[in-house]
Structures are given as C-alpha cells and as structure tokens.
Chains A and B, each alone.
Chain A
Amino acid sequence: DAKTTQPTSMDCAEGRAANLPCNHSTISGNEYVYWYRQIHSQGPQYIIHGLKNNETNEMASLIITEDRKSSTLILPHATLRDTAVYYCIVRRNTGNQFYFGTGTSLTVIP
C-alpha cells in the first residue's frame, strides 16, 4: 500500500473550514484514500474515503486531485470537538490492514 505524507500539526479557528492536506504521490490506480481521526484516548473514527471523485458526507468532504497524487479533507465548520489527530491512509478496497502514520494533529481554537 502507498505511503502518505501529512503535516505534523495545524490550527484552525472555530467556525472556519479546516483543510487538511495529504500527499500520496505513489498511489496505485486501485487504491482508495481513507481518512480517520482519533480524539484523545478514543479509538480511531472513520470519516470518509474515495477513489478519484470528490466525496461528501455528513462529517466532511474529500477532494482528490485529478492525478490522485494528493487530497484534502475539509471540515466545513470546525468545532472544538474536531480537535483530534487526523490520519490519511491509502489502501486497496480489498487490501489487508490499514497503515497509520503519525497523522496531523488539528487544534481548533476558540
């Protein structure tokens, strides 16, 4: 499974959009981009995933570039409860484990 690169940390003002980038330049054609987040002392929580089209659900939007070498997770109106570590993972749909890196620590500031 391809490797991902994310910034170590980011801040975002409460109520503003949080845009979390992820680079996955070695992604293969059959690999999906998954996003998870982990709030302190809890298990990781699934957010969204996509292959090449942009995706939106009740939690977030996922924008994948046309060449699929990078993506952005967008939290449209960040709240204090969105403070967490966000993990970008690339994996085949029928792949085995999910490889977590160290993720991006997002802090939402009042």
Chain B
Amino acid sequence: DTGVSQDPRHKITKRGQNVTFRCDPISEHNRLYWYRQTLGQGPEFLTYFQNEAQLEKSRLLSDRFSAERPKGSFSTLEIQRTEQGDSAMYLCASSPWGEGKNTEAFFGQGTRLTVV
C-alpha cells in the first residue's frame, strides 16, 4: 500500500512528557498537512509544508508544537510538555500541488494521543 502512513497509531503519555509522531506521505506528493481532530469535531488545520518549507501555521499550533519535514519527504510533529487538552487524533495528509494538477489531499489513519 502506497498511501499515507502514520506512526504510531496510538500513544498514551503522562502529562508533561514529550511525544513525537511521524508521517510518511505518498512519495510523489510535495504538500504535506497536519490536522488535529477532537471528539465530535471535524479535523482542524495545524500546519502544512511545500516540500521542506513550512508555509503556514495555525494559531492552534502553540509554541509547544513543532513540525519538521527535513528533506521534503517524511514529517514529524513533536509536542513538548503535553497537556490533557492535547488529547486528540493527529492526522497527516499529502497532496500533489500545482496549476493543472488535481490537488485533493489523501489522509493517513491518524495517531490517537491520550494524555493522562
């Protein structure tokens, strides 16, 4: 399967710990997105990359959150000093991008974070 892959699928951590999630996009996609989803809500945008450049960050992305895509391929999302309010599903998506291209995003299965 060459879809978007996220790891781990589930993470339980104690409040105050740091966690890191990984996303492997579809190989030829140059855009990569991170979203967060809490129970009963639609996914909320966090940030996106065009190749290795982080082009936009939502105000939801506090200074405890950092995302990287060092070589324009896989990406990591780190949360420092986790809080109970960080408990959510973290979704990664990728898409082609450019004029004349279909730019629909394809999502991974998500990483479910529980902060206890």
Contacts and interface: CB of A to CB of B under 8 A. Distances in A.
Task: Give me the 7 closest cross-chain CB pairs, A-B, nearest first.
Answer: A100-B42, A43-B107, A97-B45, A100-B43, A44-B107, A46-B104, A43-B109
Interface of A: prevailing SS: loop
Contacts of B97: 94
Contacts, number: 55
Given A46-B104, A46-B105, A49-B104, A100 B44 contact: yes
Given A44-B91, A46-B104, A97 B109 contact: no
B85 interface: no
A77 to B, nearest CB: 24
A97 B56 contact: yes
A94 B98 contact: yes
A24 B38 CA distance: 25
Contacts of B25: none
Contact of A98 (B45, B98, B99, B112): B45
A97 B41 contact: no
A85 B39 CA distance: 12
Interface in A49-100: 49, 85, 87, 93-100
Nearest to B112: A41
Interface string B92-116: 0100011101111111111010000
A15 to B, nearest CB: 28
B107 A96 contact: no
Contacts of B42: 85, 87, 100-103
A102 B40 CA distance: 8
Nearest to A101: B42
A43 B104 contact: no
Contact of A96 (B55, B91, B93): B55
B11 to A, nearest CB: 15
